[in-house]
Every structure is written in C-alpha cells, then in structure tokens.
Amino acid sequence: MRYSLVGITLAFATGTVFGSLLPPDLAPSVLYWPAVGIAVICVLLARVRRAFLVGLLVVIALLGGLRTQTFKLPMEGLYGRAIYLREVTGTVVSYPDLGDGYTAFILAPDHLPAKIRVTCFWNEENQERILYGDRLHLVGSVEAPERFDDFDYRAYLARQGVFATMAVGGKDQIEEIGTAGSRILRFGDNLRQKLLERLDQILPSVEAGLAHGLLFGERASLSDEVEEAFRRTGLMHLLAVSGLHLGIFLAVLWFALRFAGLRPVITYPLVGLAVLLVLWLVGPRVSLVRAALLFAFLGLGSVLADLGIILRRWVRSYQGLAAAALVILAIRPSALFDVGFQLSFGATAAIIASFDPFFGVGNWINELVKRAPLPAWCVRYPLGLLVVSAAAQAGTAPFIAYHFGTIHPLVLVANLLVIPLATVALWSGLFALLCSWAPLFTPVGILFGWMLKSLIWVVERLGGLPFAEFQVSSWMGIWIGGLVLHLFLLALYSRGALSWTWYSTSITSPSSLLGR
C-alpha cells in the first residue's frame, strides 16, 4: 500500500488511453458490467489470497475507459454545423486572454453541447472589457478549427470540449444580455484585468507583455521576439504560471510563517489560503491546478500527521502527485493527451524522484556543502538548482522532442542564469501588485521593469547562440524517454532496489541473491 495511489492513477490513465481508442458510439455497459464482474471476483478471491486484490487495477482501468467514453462529444457532427453559424448566444466560461488589439475566450453556447473559442478584434477607441460569466449575443464568422502540418489544432481544442472558432469584428457585433456562473470567479477575473491594466500603465509594452506571462501566465500580449527567445532556450515554463512560480511564492511565505513560530497544523492552512488566492487571480490553468492539488494533498497529510491521526511516513510526494493527476483525469480525461499536462507531471515527477532520500542526492549536496570553503548557501543553492534543472529537463525532454521536434542543450546553463533573475523579478512584480493603488507603485514598478529588461536581455543573448536549439525527429522523443527510463532503472539497481535473476523474471534485492 506504500504507493497504492500511484498504481491506481497509472491504471486509470491506461484505461483513459484505451477508452480514447474505442468508437464514440460504444454502449457504456460494454465497460461497466465487466468492471463490476471483475470487482466481485477479485473481492471473493481475496478471501483466499489477498494478492488477488491487484486485479482491482483492471477495474480501475475499465472505469478510466468508461469515464473517457462518457466525456466524448459528437464532434464530427458539430464540425458540419459550424460553418452555418452566424449568431451565437452563450456564457463566457474562461478567464479571457488579453492580447494586443483582441480578446480571446471560451464561450459555452446555450443550445449546443460543445464550446466555441471566440476572438474579438478591437480598435483602440472601441475596446470593451469582457469578463468571466458574461452572457453575450455574438455575430461573426464561425468555422471548424484547422489542422496544420505540424500541429492538429482541431484535436487540441476538441480535448477541451471546443468544436469551433469564431471571429467577431468589433463592439457593434457584441450584445451583453446579463451575467451567469460564479460571482467569485467573475470578481477574480475583474481584479486580474485591473491589475494587468495597472502594469500596462507603468511598464513599456515589451516588458509589460513579459510581466503578464511571468505573473499571470498570460502570453497573448507577449512580443514575438521575446517569446521566440524563451522558446529557443527551452525556458517557456517561465511564461506559464506553474509549480515553479507557486513554489517561489509559497517558499518565502512558508519560511516566514515558520519563523514566526507557527506549527505546521496552522501554517499549512494559511499557505493553502494563499494557494487559493493565486488560483482565484490567475485562473484554473492545468499546471497551476496540478501544483495546487499536490500541495493540498501533502498539506492535508502533514496536518493529519501533526495532529497524530496518521503516521508522517505515510505522507509521500509520489502519492500526492498521483492523487493530483487522478483528480484532473477524472474531471477531464482528455487532459492526458495535452502536452501541458505531460510536461507538468513529467517535470514534477522527475524532480520528486531526484530528491528521494533513496537516491542520496540530498546527502551528496550536504557533503559538498560541508567540504566547500564557501558559505553554505553559496554552494547549496546552485547545486540544488542544478539538480532541479537536470531533473526537470529529463522529465520534459522526451515530450518536447516528440511534440515539438526540438532539444535544448543549453537549458541547464540557462536555468542557472535565468531562474535566480526570474525569482527576483517575480517577487518585485508581486510587491508591485500589492502596491498597485499606492504611491509606492511607481518606484516599485520601475524596479520591476528593470528586472524584466535584464531578464529579456539574458534570454535573448542565450537564444541567439547557434547551438541553443536543435531540430530532431519526433522519434527522438521516444528514444530519449527510453534512455531516461533506462537510467532511472539503473539508478534503482545500483542502489539495491532491483536485480534480475538468471532463473526467473522476479525482481529481488541484491542482498537476497547473496544470501542464496
């Protein structure tokens, strides 16, 4: 039961893949009744031998396939209807992306089962604020999403339940007819847009676009040159609010609360409120939701351990990450096929594994810190950052190579240079947001702008190097993934966790072999 949630999540993900391959008109009973039958058989056989409970993983896989089947929408029929739509009435169900001269959002139509991605184009004098929960009647051109040679945009939107894109020419083609949905999210989106406007007032356009991405994961107003520099260096994760940003924010808050003498049973709920505040302002992005769920499961376990309800050794990062993945897949199974989901969980799993006490990386860093003639933080921070960067690269390189056909040899060096600078920029930006309507906002905003300009300069210099990025075949991603898996198993073997005998396929420890 040590890693039971990991097995359950892997089984559910396997069922999700299986369910995606089944025809959409398949009756749910084809999966439901076999799941019930196998569950009953496993429970009955478990009275004889508890090992038969492993068969419940098959049940979970079938349930994953069943959830995927029920999540599918009749997209092919909707694609044919898209070209005949001219007017649509519905509700805005996403935090809008605010670009230069346009606003993009997801609209849930009143009388259609799937959603539409709408882009409203503005002139400077007639731009209108659109918020989460707005009820709109739109007039414009609607079409089914395109399929490009290097990117299936239609499949990408279909996994989000979107069947069409709509272009709206201006304010005269939009009619507001009320509001709906969560008032809390609507208020959060309204506050977010006001904060973005304050940043635009104090920062030049290039730095403001980067501030939108760094603080809110909003890349719509990012300049093409800056985005290309981040892409070439493999640093796009800095422009998507994720566990890195949340970790930078929460680490300082955590240590401040602990320094004040608060116990974990009090500190975790306070930090949890801060996580909810970030989600409220930024919006439910997958990378941020994953990080928030991981913190929630680990935080809950730590509180229960602090209260003596459970053992502290039961609180494991692997279990928390698996639980976060299970929740996301249960809500939206198609997230498994999104590259953002794969990159987010691949990087986090690799980082957690690298700092597992079993591999001794933490002890290795401690030994180097003791031997170094420098202050401890001068050695510990760079080494920790190097390990985190290497682990994240190992966890994401297979997916980046497979989906985008690129590898970034300089990403380790780039992270060592850019992440400290991004950390300072992030905190100066957060402080500027806190002072948004105070006289201190102007000097803090100017300092924030300098940090952003320095960050852009460093990334552009790195991106300009000829060997910052290499184009590879998508099959290279599979090869890199196999290499990473091989190195992981080799590390397990070298630490005494695995050994394959000559006589069977069983996995035992080397000490048991020596005993034989």
- Is 460 contained in some domain? no
Sign of CA dihedral 160, 161, 165, 170: negative
The span from the CA of 194 to the CA of 191, in Å, is 5
Q: What is residue 438's DSSP assignment? A: S
Find, among 2, 35, 37, the residue nearest to 18 by Cα.
Answer: 35
> Which residue is associated with the tokens 């240590």?
255
Token pair listed for 118: 């709408």
Say if residue 10 is in the same domain as residue 123.
Answer: no
pLDDT at 389: 85
Q: Within a domain: residue 170?
A: yes
Q: Rounded CA gap, 423 and 351, in Å?
A: 18
User: Dmax over Cα atoms in the chain, in whole Å?
Assistant: 83
Residue 59 one-letter amino acid: V
- 273 inside domain: no
Q: Regarding beta strands 115-121 and 162-168, do their DSSP bridges make them parallel or antiparallel, or are they unpaired?
A: parallel
Kindly state the helix (H) or strand (E) to which residue 120 belongs, with its residue range. strand 115-121
What pLDDT does 508 receive? 42
**Shared domain check, 484 and 378:** yes
Whether 207 is in a domain gets the answer no
Distances (CA, A) of 454 to 97, 133, 414, 459, 469: 26, 38, 14, 9, 22
Three-state DSSP class for 118? strand
Q: Is 436 part of a structural domain of the chain?
A: no
Task: Identify whether 91 is part of a domain.
Answer: yes
Q: Based on the fold, state whether residues 36 and 81 are members of the same structural domain.
A: no
With a CB cutoff of 8 Å and minimum separation 6, the contacts of 276 are 292
The residue out of 56, 72, 88 marking a domain boundary is 72
Same domain, 491 and 376: yes
* The two three-digit tokens of residue 159, written as one number: 């996994």
Residue 333 sits at φ, ψ, to 5 deg, of: -55, -30
**How many domains are contained in the chain?**
3
Rounded-to-integer distance, Cα 218 and Cα 501, Å:
53
Computed on alpha carbons and rounded to an integer, the radius of gyration of the chain in Å comes to: 25
Tell me the C-alpha distance between 16 and 337, whole Å. 10
Range of the domain at 144: 76-181
Whether residues 365 and 502 share a domain: the answer is yes
d(CA 162, CA 112): 11
92 and 65, same structural domain? no
Are 501 and 359 in a shared domain?
yes
| 383 in Cβ contact with 377 (< 8 Å) | no
In whole angstroms, give the CA distance from residue 296 to residue 169: 43
67 and 99 part of one domain: no
In whole angstroms, give the CA distance from residue 362 to residue 347.
18
Shared domain for 160 and 19, answered yes or no, is: no
Helices marked H in 203-338: 205-216, 224-232, 243-259, 264-282, 286-306, 317-331
**pLDDT, position 504:** 40
Please, which residues have CB within 8 angstroms of residue 46's CB and are 6 or more apart in sequence? Answer: 52, 53
Q: What is the domain-level CATH number for residue 174? A: 2.40.50.140
Task: Verify that 45 and 90 share a domain, yes or no.
Answer: no
Domain-embedded: residue 445: no
CB 103 within 8 A of CB 119: yes
As a whole number of angstroms, the distance between CA 285 and CA 76 comes to: 27
- Rounded to whole angstroms, the Cα distance separating 308 from 431 reads 38
Tell me the CB-side half-sphere exposure of residue 27, using CA atoms within 13 A: 4
Residue with tokens 């935080």: 299
In this structure, are 41 and 122 located in the same domain?
A: no
| 340 alpha-carbon distance from chain centroid | 6
Q: Which of 41, 72, 103 is the last residue of a domain?
A: 72
Residue in this structure with the two tokens 């038969």, named with its chain if needed: 52
Boundary (domain end) residue, out of 37, 72, 107: 72
- What are the structure tokens assigned to 232, written together? 């070439």
Residue 196 per-residue DSSP state: H
Tokens 């990334």 map to which residue?
A: 459
pLDDT at residue 514 in the model: 36
Coil/strand/helix, residue 247: helix
pTM, rounded to two decimals: 0.83
Classify 161 in phi/psi space as left (phi over 0), alpha (psi -120 to 50) or beta. Answer: left
pLDDT per residue, tens digit, the chain (516 aa), is 566 888 999 999 999 999 998 887 888 888 999 999 999 999 898 888 888 888 899 999 999 999 998 888 888 888 988 888 999 999 999 999 988 889 999 999 998 989 999 999 987 667 788 999 999 999 999 999 988 877 888 988 998 899 999 999 888 899 999 999 899 999 999 999 999 999 999 999 999 999 998 888 888 888 889 999 998 998 888 887 776 777 777 777 878 887 888 877 788 788 888 888 888 988 877 677 777 887 777 777 777 766 666 656 666 788 888 888 899 899 999 889 988 888 888 888 888 888 888 788 888 888 888 888 888 878 888 888 888 888 888 888 999 999 888 999 888 888 888 888 888 898 899 889 988 888 888 899 999 999 999 999 999 999 888 888 988 888 888 998 898 888 888 887 776 655 444 334 444 444 443 343
In terms of domains, do 25 and 95 share one? no
The answer as to whether 463 is a domain residue is: no
